[in-house]
């Protein structure tokens, strides 16, 4: 953020080449008040609109957003560094999730009815909360936002979106889509906000629910800003997600899946694989094949169609990862990737070579703190019990994966894991039919699935005695 005279502006610095790709004036206090007022007036009529009407607008908005796929893909690459060959994939995920939530909304929002009790009628309706504030991050800027925006609108809430200063055009594209759909004024709005203005908006009595996706420290700020205002909160925070490769695993499948789960989006995913535990009987084979696969990635400008690994979002993020790797090596870890294999990787830039480390342990930050970068840290284990113990030895609990041919054993082990989502033979994927949630410092609340609608509504009981 820069200050020019009396005007506070937002500037987005591209990790591609360090250029300023977006400049926007941040919303003033008056603009924030006007947005809250518009939302208040809009929600009176929006909550009374039929579900069929709400679904209609959401379908039109998603269609409108998808019609700008090529421009959006280019914008994403410039703003946050994802290779252009992958940037368009995010909108495919947006479409899948949005259309699924639209399809299940009638069931998810249905009135709960009870068996007949003579002389009485009883039922529970799901009422909208009011105005939902969505604070979205830069790493999956459309997916994380749509997880809450669509079900919030379907449930009869109005929405105010505050997007990351790294990806402000995403908020504008979503606004454009809802405007093109003809959504009534004030039902969906966006604001470009400073940190202080964000906290002030969270504390407003005009806000009834806040959805935040980001860091643990960011989640703490949101909780403090909301304290005493009795807002409900949905927090999706950090992750240090583990994968366990059992002795009976299909190693080729495990390597392909885990490497992609660790390196996609340059490792900048809350549910990316950051810790890998491999049974000692398969450890060397896994490391050899994974090293070979990692070495085939091409680090370069995300605008280049041949690039498969883009820069991290900013130089400071790359430096943080470099420091974790260096510390681990100093403590005895072995690096299997030569940085010279990736000539684009340079100190003082966000371009960072991927790395695979072995001989790691939980005395190293690389195994305990979120890395958020293209690193596979591989630890040898000797039993299922040891693997489960190490997987649970974390302040985080977003997802966990086990690779094995024995599904029954995997499920039994999964029952012992402290995690929000448990995978067998896959990782790093959100199925919209399943609840997306975390435990411990990975946050609280729930998105997606039928359960996701519960966080965006309140129950209202009707108890009628017939005279």
Give the Å distances, CA to CA, from 392 to 138, 230, 237, 413, 438: 28, 32, 17, 11, 13
Q: CB-hemisphere CA count at 13 Å for 36?
A: 18
Beta-strand relationship, 20-25 and 7-13: antiparallel
DSSP structure class, residue 206: T
Give the DSSP per-residue string, 47-104: TTS-HHHHHHHHHHHHHHHHTTHHHHHHHHHHHH---HHHHTHHHHHHHHHHHHHHHH
Which positions ≥6 away from 288 have C-beta within 8 Å? none
Record the tokens describing residue 359, joined without a space. Answer: 């001989």
Catalytic residue among 58, 170, 270, 446: 270
Q: Based on the residue annotation, tell me whether 270 is a catalytic residue of this protein.
A: yes
What is the crossing angle of helices 407-414 and 384-392, to 10°?
A: 40
Token pair listed for 203 = 């504390």
SS3 percent helix, strand, coil of the chain, rounded to 5, is 40, 25, 35
Residues 456, 105: contact at Cβ < 8 Å? no
DSSP state at residue 384: H
Strand pairing class (131-136; 120-128): unpaired
**Catalytic position from the list 206, 236, 274, 370:** 236
**DSSP letter for each residue of 394-456:** SSEESEEEEE-S-HHHHHHHHTTS--SEEEES--S---TTS-B--EETTEE--BSTTHHHHTT
Q: Which residues are catalytic?
A: 236, 270
């Amino acid at each position: 953020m820069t200050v020019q005279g009396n005007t506070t502006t937002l500037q987005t610095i591209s990790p591609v080449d360090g250029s300023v790709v977006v400049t926007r004036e941040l919303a003033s206090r008056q603009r924030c008040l006007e947005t809250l007022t518009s939302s208040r007036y809009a929600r009176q009529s929006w909550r009374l609109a039929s579900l069929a009407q709400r679904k209609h607008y959401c379908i039109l908005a998603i269609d409108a957003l998808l019609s700008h796929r090529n421009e959006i893909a280019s914008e994403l690459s410039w703003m946050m560094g994802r290779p252009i060959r992958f940037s368009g994939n995010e909108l495919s995920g947006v479409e899948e999730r949005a259309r699924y939530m639209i399809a299940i909304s009638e069931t998810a929002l249905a009135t709960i009815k009870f068996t007949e009790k003579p002389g009485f009628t009883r039922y529970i309706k799901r009422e909208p909360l009011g105005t939902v504030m969505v604070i979205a991050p830069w790493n999956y800027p459309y997916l994380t936002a749509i997880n809450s925006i669509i079900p919030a609108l379907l449930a009869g809430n109005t929405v105010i979106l505050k997007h990351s200063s790294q990806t402000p055009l995403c908020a504008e594209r979503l606004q454009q889509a809802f405007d093109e759909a003809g959504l009534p004024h004030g039902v969906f709005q966006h604001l470009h906000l400073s940190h202080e203005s964000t906290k002030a908006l969270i504390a407003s009595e005009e806000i009834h629910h806040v959805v935040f996706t980001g860091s643990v420290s960011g989640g703490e700020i949101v909780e403090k800003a909301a304290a005493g205002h009795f807002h409900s909160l949905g927090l999706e925070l950090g992750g240090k997600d583990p994968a366990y490769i059992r002795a009976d695993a299909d190693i080729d499948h495990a390597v392909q899946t885990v490497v992609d789960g660790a390196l996609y989006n340059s490792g900048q995913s809350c549910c990316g694989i950051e810790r890998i535990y491999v049974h000692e009987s398969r450890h060397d084979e896994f490391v050899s094949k994974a090293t070979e696969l990692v070495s085939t990635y091409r680090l370069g400008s995300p605008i280049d169609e041949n690039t498969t690994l883009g820069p991290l979002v900013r130089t400071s993020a790359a430096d943080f990862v470099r420091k974790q790797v260096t510390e681990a090596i100093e403590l005895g870890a072995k690096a299997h990737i030569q940085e010279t294999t990736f000539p684009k990787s340079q100190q003082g830039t966000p371009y960072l070579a991927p790395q695979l480390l072995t001989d790691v342990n939980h005395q190293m930050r690389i195994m305990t703190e979120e890395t958020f970068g293209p690193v596979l840290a591989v630890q040898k284990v000797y039993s299922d019990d040891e693997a489960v113990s190490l997987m649970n030895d974390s302040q985080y609990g977003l997802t966990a994966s086990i690779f094995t041919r024995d599904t029954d054993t995997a499920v039994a082990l999964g029952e012992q894991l402290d995690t929000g989502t448990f995978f067998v033979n896959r990782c790093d994927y959100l199925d919209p039919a399943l609840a997306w949630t975390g435990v411990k410092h990975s946050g609280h609340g729930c998105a997606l699935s039928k359960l996701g609608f519960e966080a965006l509504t309140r129950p209202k009981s009707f108890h009628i005695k017939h005279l």
